[in-house]
Amino acid sequence: MERKHLLYMLTTDDYASPFDINMAYDVGFDAVIPYAHVTPQIGGLLVQDIIFSRGISGTKFSSIFIGGSDLNLAEDILKAAEKNMFPPFQVSIMIDPKGAYSTASALVAKVEKALEVRDMGRLAGKRVVILGGTGPVGRITAGLCAKNGCQTTIVETDPSRSPEFAQTVARTIEERYGVSVIGAYGWTSEEKIDLLKEAHLIFSTAKAGIQVLSKELLERLPAGKIVADVNAVPPMGIEGLAPNQDLSEVVPGILGIGALVIGDLKYKVEMDMLDKIRTAEKMMIVDYQFAYEAAKKRLSVGRP
């Protein structure tokens, strides 16, 4: 009997992402089965049905994708899934909530490569400021930068949030990923200038269509910085940084990497993640660490 490669997509949201579903089919899955409003408890029950229903020989033909907008809840679903599996009833799992793992990995790997190309040193020791850094992409970006030895600050730029919100998120990042992160509030121009003037790297990870750094403010900053944006929906997160810019000047002395350049790498990384769980002979967890290594590999060997 010919076995079909099945992907069970568990999301915390109202519906599974069409973006992720399309990619799963393109990478070769025979069928994608979505489940919405998944909680850790529901996820654990679904996993039991998934692992037992196809027998031991069928486990390598079943895979799980965990997604959704709630990063913390998605990671708790992963823990519940792992807890409910045991040898030989184990299937491979990929987690990429709201694309945060693949996007953040592409962002950090691309900037890391840019430092190498421009002979600007390594990530370790760099001061990184992440504007709009309290969302899913910002949180994973902060975790990756901190793990690489950066002094990392996430900045809440939404005036409707309290100044303490970023500090609360920073503590959550520290607890979940075992790193040190600073939480700050920056809504006014002067608040942003104070936070950005000493930074080596400035990232925009705010919601689509939200500008967090104007060209006027960028022109007031000292030269020698790299800025990068993941927002491809106008207005861009960083004014003056075109989506297809790839390490060219945004203003004199400041280099920029645009959202489409990062997005192209993110797409390839997600394809690598999906292909890995589809073809794995033994159970494995594909997470942000896998995504980051995949992004660096893509850049190091110049894969298309």
Interval 216-238: pLDDT, tens: 999 999 999 999 999 999 999 99
- The domains of the chain are located at 6-99+266-301, 104-262
Q: What pLDDT was estimated at residue 105?
A: 98
Q: What pLDDT was estimated at residue 303?
A: 45
Instruction: State how far the Cα of 115 lies from the Cα of 121, in Å rounded to an integer.
Output: 6
pLDDT band at 2 (very low <50, low <70, confident <90, very high): confident
pLDDT at 304 over 90: no
Phi-psi category of residue 146: left, alpha or beta, with phi > 0 → left and psi -120 to 50 → alpha: alpha
Q: Are 41 and 12 in contact, with CB atoms under 8 Å apart?
A: no
Architecture of the 6-99+266-301 domain: 3-Layer(aba) Sandwich (3.40)
Q: What is the mean pLDDT of residues 40-51?
A: 96
Q: What pLDDT was estimated at residue 131?
A: 98
pLDDT at 187 over 60: yes
Q: What is the mean pLDDT of residues 39-61?
A: 95
Instruction: State how far the Cα of 117 lies from the Cα of 46, in Å rounded to an integer.
Output: 46
Closest CA to 47 of 290, 291, 283: 283
Closest CA to 43 of 80, 94, 88: 80
Tens-place pLDDT, residues 83-119: 999 999 999 999 999 999 999 999 999 999 999 999 9
Average pLDDT, the chain: 96
Q: What is the mean pLDDT of residues 193-203?
A: 97
pLDDT band at 29 (very low <50, low <70, confident <90, very high): very high
The dihedral built from the CA positions of residue 298, 301, 302 and 303, taken in this order, carries a sign that is negative
Tens-place pLDDT, residues 230-267: 999 999 999 999 999 999 999 999 999 999 999 999 99
pLDDT at 301 over 80: no
Q: What pLDDT was estimated at residue 1?
A: 65
Residue 158 identity: D
Q: Look up the pTM and report it.
A: 0.96
Q: What is the mean pLDDT of residues 22-49?
A: 97
- DSSP assigned state of 30: S
Q: What is the mean pLDDT of residues 151-162?
A: 94
The superfamily (CATH) of domain 104-262 is NAD(P)-binding Rossmann-like Domain (3.40.50.720)
**One fold for both 6-99+266-301 and 104-262?**
yes
Q: What pLDDT was estimated at residue 135?
A: 95
